[in-house]
């Protein structure tokens, strides 16, 4: 079982928190508005605590559950409070037409977060190809990318505790292409699949 | 059933040609070296013909089965001979470390091919997320992207005739992200999956 902290008190924080508790993990939530974090902790139950914004998270794995443009500033704001932590970026920096990323350079929110994260921390991209309502109840494949094998092993154990299948796609540079896979997922929902009741994943197909 | 032409005489040309014949389609192959095209036509059988390089293809759907750096020059070389055709780009322009594309701009071989393709033609990206040996025998999901609904409908019918499932991800700008999904597929083979016996696809997961 993992000890996780969730930065954010919105829908994704609630969804991941609920599954984390159901999976037997220890959960802390942190919000700019402490009363919202306290409310969410109460809603989640299972011993969830509410931490103070900007202080060292209690969890070994810190999931940043914010809109994409909040991720890098908040990692920078936390600064050394994140030393030694595994920081998980779940964001999707989509443009307004859902056919490109908000950053035109070949980077990702995860890579940018890694640039401002403190020494000894490690950033992992995860969960961004899975729609929230599938995360709520489904058992999807969860793609992850990161440069630290140890950090990825921790995130994989956490994902497995949620009843989902973690699938490593490589180093943190691949986070850019996972953000692209997020766009492909939305494209499938709007075109070839036509609904949201699916996940991108791996199908075993012996040749 | 579709009438297709395949530009190229390599492994991908042979694999797609064989499945196309098995699916009851009419197939023409075209090679710079006409004798190689003639040999491949004979190998494929089922009435496969060998066309003259650079002349108007017999098929309505023209699959460019070349290494990625050959696609745009050859579409340009064919020029008006491709008028009215649906041009299918299947290429994967990977960098040498398999974590980025050969082009750093947010484009794709498919989009670049569209720039040099003649009026009345339409480019569709397809097949690039499927390993060749899976194309040989498997029944994978095949992601496609393109700006023409009519062109995509034609390619979808062809893919369906191969026993595979076509899944539209949107306009041609999405070809860039399908090339990224190709990188994700290779990343999965090298990391989370650890072998090549799978395809990226869609798993229905009612929430």
pLDDT, one tens digit per residue, over B67-109 is: 999 999 999 999 999 999 999 999 999 999 999 999 988 999 9
Tell me the per-residue pLDDT of A141-189, one tens digit each, with 9 for 90 and over: 999 999 999 999 999 999 999 999 999 999 999 999 999 999 999 999 9
The CATH class for the domain spanning A3-190 reads: alpha beta
How many A×B Cβ pairs under 8 Å? 159
Residue B207 has pLDDT above 70, yes or no: no
The candidate with the shortest Cα–Cα distance to B127, out of B28, B200, B23, B205, is: B200
- Tell me which chain B residues have a C-beta less than 8 angstroms from the C-beta of A184: 143, 169, 174, 177-178, 180-181
- Give the CA distances from residue B80 to residues A118, B95, B121, B155, in Å, rounded to whole numbers and listed in that order: 57, 31, 9, 21
Chain A contact for B191, CB < 8 A?
yes
A173 min Cα distance to partner chain B (Å):
6
Tell me the per-residue pLDDT of A110-124, one tens digit each, with 9 for 90 and over: 999 999 999 999 999
Verify whether the Cβ–Cβ distance A167 to B143 is below 8 Å. Answer: no
β-pairing, A122-126 vs A141-146, is antiparallel
Query: What letters, b where the CB count within 10 A reaches 16 and e where it falls short, cover A129-168?
Result: bbbeebbeebebbbbbbbbbeebbebbbebbebbebbbbb
Verify whether the Cβ–Cβ distance B170 to A99 is below 8 Å. Answer: yes
Tell me the per-residue pLDDT of B133-191, one tens digit each, with 9 for 90 and over: 999 988 999 999 999 999 999 999 999 999 999 999 999 999 999 999 999 999 999 99
Residue A206 has pLDDT above 80, yes or no: no
């Amino acid at each position: 079982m993992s000890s996780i902290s969730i930065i954010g008190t919105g829908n994704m924080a609630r969804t991941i928190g609920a599954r984390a508790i159901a999976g037997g993990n220890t959960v802390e939530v942190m919000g700019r508005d402490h009363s919202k974090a306290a409310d969410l902790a109460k809603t989640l139950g299972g011993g969830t605590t509410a931490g103070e914004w900007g202080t060292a998270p209690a969890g070994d794995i810190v999931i940043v559950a914010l809109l994409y443009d909040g991720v890098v500033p908040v990692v920078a704001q936390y600064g050394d409070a994140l030393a030694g932590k595994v920081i998980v970026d779940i964001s999707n920096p989509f443009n307004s037409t859902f056919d490109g990323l908000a950053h035109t350079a070949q980077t990702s929110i995860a890579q940018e977060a890694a640039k401002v994260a403190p020494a000894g921390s490690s950033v992992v991209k995860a969960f961004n190809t899975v729609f929230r309502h599938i995360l709520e109840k489904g058992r999807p494949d969860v793609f992850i990318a990161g440069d630290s094998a140890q950090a990825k092993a921790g995130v994989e154990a956490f994902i497995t505790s949620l009843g989902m299948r973690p699938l490593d796609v490589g180093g943190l540079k691949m986070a850019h292409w996972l953000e692209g896979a997020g766009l492909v997922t939305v494209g499938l929902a709007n075109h070839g699949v036509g609904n949201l009741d699916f996940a991108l994943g791996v199908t075993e197909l012996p040749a």
